[in-house]
Amino acid sequence: MAPTAAEDDSGGMTPDGSHNYALHMPLTLEEWEHERETLSAQLRRRAKRLCSCTPARAKALLLNSVPILRWLPRYRAREWLLGDMMSGLIVGILLVPQSIAYSLLAGQDPVYGLYTSFFSGIIYALLGSSRHISVGIFGVLCLLVGQVVDRELVLAGYTSETSTANLTIADVSEGEGVGWHNGTAVGLACDRSCYAILVGATVTFTAGVYQVLMGLLQVGFVSVFLSDSMLSGFATGASLTILTSQLKYLLGLKLPRAQGWGSLIKTWASLLSNLPSTNLCDLVTSVLCLLLLVPAKELNNRFKSKLRAPIPFELLVVIVATLASHFGAFCERYGSEVAGTIPTGFLPPQLPAWHLIPNVALDAFSIALVGFAITVSLSEMFAKKHGYTVDANQEMYAIGFCNILPAFFRCFTTSAALTKTLVKESTGCQTQLSALVTALVLLLVLLLIAPLFYSLQK
């Protein structure tokens, strides 16, 4: 049956039911030119709208690029301030011994771990879109950086812990530079410690550049493929790797870091073969700390609903262990390795070693990918848990700048940290204001308290 006019007003039928063949005829040249001009005008109008810089557009771009400007004016001090203050204080307390310990994994002096935690926390609070994750030192990244540092030290001629190659700061960086040597700032000879942090800072800068480029290329979409099972497997593997790397300090053994394929197996083989050389003082101290900390953690978990904040057993253990090591002269009597001099204050900024970038570019890329995976996964996991959304590309920008800018202050690579994020979330954190509180705690340590940890056993 032929359609009626009412059924097909646009199919070539006139209102009286007759066919309008003009509707099916091809456009004339004049009509086609008119249509093309209309389309071009539309495209120009859209392009102009996209490229225009109106006050409203500039404001939206600023708010999206610096998320703290969006949520800070709406901050609910009465509801959120106490939780942010408590979580920031507790994470800051935990970060002091952890920053010192993880510096050893990265092959750096303890003060640089404190620098890293301080700068990265502030930058992420300004640029991050997650309310809960804690950005700072992460064990796996420290191990990856430490492997690159050890390799470059050997290539540069630093063959032992106390060796000094025939290098100056001018050889490894443009302009004047300063490094720590036995707690003193030096600017002429570049000793092992000075060169190690220069390598670490160069790796960190390069990894940060990769991460910012990934943000510009909108790589954040791949975060949808990072499943919970992948994150769990990653965390388990990271825990095993960190445990293995810490065992030589637990036993008081001086072992070189294993490099290349099978490094985990090589490390265990080296540990087992050197067990007779265990420092009994370090072993006893380590066991006592574990016997106190493991039950304390279970106690905090059991009574967390009744406690306004977890009891900081970690801080108490660090204080008691430092006092025991100091007054018992563990270093002098038993040969225990201690943290040593941790200077106060900050060093002036220094450029990365540009000529080292080709040597570390491939390592920095793998480090950037690991940092991306853990940061985006954790931010999306906690956003889903608490009912808000995060921008994966903004997270890439944030973590990239958490590496680029601190690299000029001798910091090493950072990302979201699983353990500290769990502590932060479980102690009442509501916004990244808690990260600024943590930074204040670390600033107090860096300016006043750091030298008191001289006798802390590794």
pTM of the model: 0.75
CB 204 within 8 A of CB 145: yes
220: pLDDT confidence band, cut at 50, 70 and 90? Answer: low
What confidence tens digit (pLDDT) does each residue in 187-215 have?
445 777 888 889 999 999 999 999 999 88
CB 376 within 8 A of CB 226: yes
| pLDDT for 372 beyond 80 | yes
Give me the phi and psi of 10, to 5 degrees please. -105, 10
In this structure, how many other beta carbons lie within 10 angstroms of the beta carbon of residue 182? 10
| Cα–Cα distance for residue pair 69/127, rounded to 1 Å | 9
| Pairing between β-strand 415-416 and β-strand 135-136 as defined by DSSP bridges | antiparallel
CB 395 within 8 A of CB 130: yes
| Cα–Cα distance for residue pair 305/425, rounded to 1 Å | 14
Q: How far apart, in Å, are the Cα atoms of 361 and each of 116, 121, 368, 381?
A: 21, 25, 10, 30
Q: Residues 112-139: what's their mean pLDDT?
A: 90
| pLDDT for 319 beyond 80 | yes
Q: Determine the residue type at 393.
A: N
CB 325 within 8 A of CB 455: yes
pLDDT at 6: 44
CB 246 within 8 A of CB 106: no
| Cα–Cα distance for residue pair 241/229, rounded to 1 Å | 18
| Cα–Cα distance for residue pair 425/337, rounded to 1 Å | 34
Q: The tokens 């990769």 sit on which residue?
A: 210
223: pLDDT confidence band, cut at 50, 70 and 90? Answer: low
